[in-house]
Structure 1
Amino acid sequence: MTTATQQPALTAAVEQTAQLLLDHYTFPEIAEELAPLLRCRLADGAYDVTDPAELARLVTDDLQSLNGDRHLRLKHHAQPVPEEKGAAILAAMREEFDATLGGVPRVELRDGGVALVELSSKLFPLDWSAEVLTAAFHLVARAEALIIDLRANTGGDPDAVAFVCGYLLDERTHLNSMYWREGERVEQSWSPAHVPGARFGGSKPLYVLTSGTTFSAAEELAYDLQQLGRAVVVGETTVGGAHPRGGWTVHPHLEASIPVGRAVNPVSGTNWEGTGVRPDVPCAAGDAVEQAASLARARLAE
């Protein structure tokens, strides 16, 4: 039960979040504005609450007030979280991994040789999910057309994005570049030259389904394939979060989520931050499977 005795710990969480912004946020000039804003709001009593969940909401509203960065937030966890950097999000993701058959809750063959693979609720760390992804994409490799359902996917591991793309392309391909604040370094992301099992390949019809909740790494998968001209995106415009984040525990129930880099696509020269991935074929998310299946059957009939 939260009480007023927790106020010093919550005050410290805000101060620590402000300093983490200055030290790590991928846009230092924005951090220079946001950190004083948090400290001013703290001094003014705007954060005089005893509930960590309420503090998370208030601070997140302020963190996102300048540039709308959806990865920039103070995240509340109902259960106490570990102190190690990144441990909070990994603990939550592990529960989701176990509850979703490793992130591939559905693989099916539809009429006309059209296969569907649902990737949900995350693109999990590759050292957890590689075996599951290999099994799913090896199974659908012989399909005439493929639908990848990302409508309920809210992000995850960029390495898993590249791994999936390896099954959908014929050769090693530059997918994305990450510009990291730490060390001012650039790291390129490429699809693998070889993958376990059979590939679906780079020429058969491919459709990617999105919704208004598709986020982060799931957006990258849709965006990379769209920019390469490899896939037709069907559904709704996605959330619009392109900045990879780090997580720091600042209170037993609070995690400061701070973007530490930014993505730049080699084709577009930009990314989906703020705009989302715009579908090639817009439709309600609930209609996207049937819309994509119809498009696939028409394409195969040509």
Structure 2
Amino acid sequence: MKTFSFIIFMILNLSVVYAQQQVSPADKRSTIDTLLTRIENHYVYPDVAKKMTDAVRRRMRAHVYDTVSSGPVLAKMLTEDLHSISHDGHLGVEYSVDVIPNEKPGAPPSQQVIDDFRRQGANDNFAFRKLEILDGNIGYLRLNIFWPGDWIKETAAGAMAMLANSDAIILDLRDNHGFAPDGVILVESYFFKEETHMTDQVNNDEHTMRQYWTLPTVPGNRLADKKLYLLVSHDTFSAGEDFAYNMQAQKRAIVIGEATGGGAHGTRPYRIGNHFSASIPFSYSINPVTHTDWEGRGVQPDIVSSKEQALLVAEVAIIKDMLASAKDEHPRKYLENLQAQREKELNAIKVK
């Protein structure tokens, strides 16, 4: 049972937190005005930017925000209002209890910040979360974030070396939320023999376009001759979708799972108040094969499956493919038994 003093402490502590989250009418007005200016100046599609800012200004004139005094509630409300027009998963407003440093927009982070961030990634093995050889000599890698290519090159080389003797490879992106385009390019490069044009990024802020090609060389083994299967889900987002979409467009991988989240825009953070920041998309992708991207639609899988079933569905597809080319009786029998086992496991999941 909690003591009376503990309950008093919690009440006082919650009161402090509540007080820290309050926003004055003047700060609220200033934050919203700055947000709208940032969107007008930087959002990737000017016509959509105008629709969003007009909608928020109409709500201001209707006094919709007048009674909102909580910083987190205001941030959530503004995000929802912007999403109702743009449907852009990269666009959003965040509240911070701590004062946000007043840095110049677009200024690079300090070396200390970069070093701390890199250590954070290294402590998580740069999101190379699981690596193993499954039954049937199927290589499996679960990768949850694409960290910068220069940071992950040793980790990637080690993972690819372990996968090099596999007969087929499954790359699991079901919980990959993106991050670094050059990390995407590094991993993609392992699966091509020649330099290949993967995507273009159009920067609306700077009126420039940058092409992304696979690298001429990679650390360690290439896996260009390996059949590749990608697992995706509705939680796959941003750079994770970039990888799946471009590999699918190049017909270099079979995509299995659910339609992905649908976020194709490059994004920058902006300080819009002492306690508020906004993530505002400034660029979009153009695939050289499809001449479009996956924004708002997501990557559409070649084989539809639930998130929970996707791995087993991939294994069954690979085993069937192996059986089609297996001639000797012993490996055929092994693969037939393995297929029956995996299908039984898959059916068990379907029953649930």
Q: Give me the TM-score of the superposition, normalised by structure 1.
A: 0.90
Instruction: Find 1:219's aligned residue among 241, 246, 255.
Output: 241
Which consecutive unaligned segments of at least 5 residues does structure 2 have? Answer: 1-16, 326-352
Please point out which of 44, 49, 60 is paired with 2:79: 60
The offset of 1:99, in angstroms, is 5.6
1:63-86 per-residue CA deviation (whole Å, 9 max, x = no partner) reads 112231111211345666544457
Give the equivalent residue in structure 2 for 1:271.
293
- Structure number with higher helix proportion: 2
Contact conserved, 1:2 with 1:50, CA < 8 A, in 2?
Answer: no
Q: Is the aligned partner of 1:119 residue 2:143? A: yes
CA distance, structure 1, for counterparts of residue 147 and residue 253 of structure 2:
22
Distance 2:97 2:259 in 1: 30
The 8 Å contact of residues 39 and 49 in structure 2, kept in 1 or not, is answered as: yes
Q: How many residue pairs end up in the alignment?
A: 299
1:45-124 to 2 correspondences below 5 Å: 45-48=63-66, 49-77=68-96, 81-84=100-103, 85=105, 97=121, 100-120=124-144, 122-124=145-147
1:157 aligns with 2:164: no
The one-letter code of the counterpart of 2:320 is: A
Contact 1:18–1:36 (CA under 8 A) maintained in structure 2: no
Quick check: 1:26 aligned with 2:44?
yes
Q: Secondary structure of 2:318's match?
A: helix
Q: Give the Cα–Cα distance (whole angstroms) in 2 for the partners of residues 5 and 71 of structure 1.
A: 25
Partner of 1:229 in structure 2? 251
Which amino acid in structure 1 is aligned with residue 216 of structure 2?
Answer: A
Displacement of 1:43 after TM fit? 4.0
TM-score (norm 2): 0.78
Mapped to 2, the partners of 1:92 and 1:8 lie a distance apart of: 35
Structure 1: any 5+ residue segments left out of the alignment? none
Partner of 2:33: 15
- Cα distance in 2 for residues equivalent to 1:282 and 1:259: 29
Partners of 2:315 and 2:166 lie apart in 1 by: 13
Superimposed CA distance per residue, residues 89-142 of structure 1 (whole angstroms, 9 cap, x where no aligned partner): 98997687356321101111101110111111x212234333322322232122
| Residues 283-298 of structure 1: pairs in structure 2 closer than 5 A | 283-298=305-320
Question: Max radius of gyration: which structure?
Answer: 2
8 Å CA contact 2:23–2:71 kept in 1: the answer is: no
- Which structure is richer in relative contact order (CA contacts within 8 A, separation 6 or more)? 1
CA distance in 2, matches of 1:134, 1:180: 31
State how far apart, in whole Å, the 2-side matches of 1:170 and 1:273 are: 29
Answer yes or no: is the 8 Å Cα contact 1:150–1:214 preserved in 2: yes
SS in 1 for 2:154: helix
CA contact (8 A) 2:23 2:70 kept: no
Task: Note closer, same or farther for the CA distance 1:282–1:79 as it changes in structure 2 (3 Å cut).
Answer: farther
Does the 8 Å CA contact 1:234/1:279 hold for their aligned counterparts? yes
For 1:92 and 1:119, the matched residues in 2 are separated by 21
- Partner Cα distance (2:73, 2:148) in 1: 30
Would the alpha carbon gap of residues 276 and 42 (structure 1) be closer, same or farther in structure 2, given more than 3 Å must change? same
Tell me, yes or no, if the aligned pair for 1:14 and 1:42 is still in contact at 8 Å.
no
Q: Report percent identity of matched pairs.
A: 31
Question: Which amino acid is the alignment partner of residue 39 of structure 1?
Answer: R
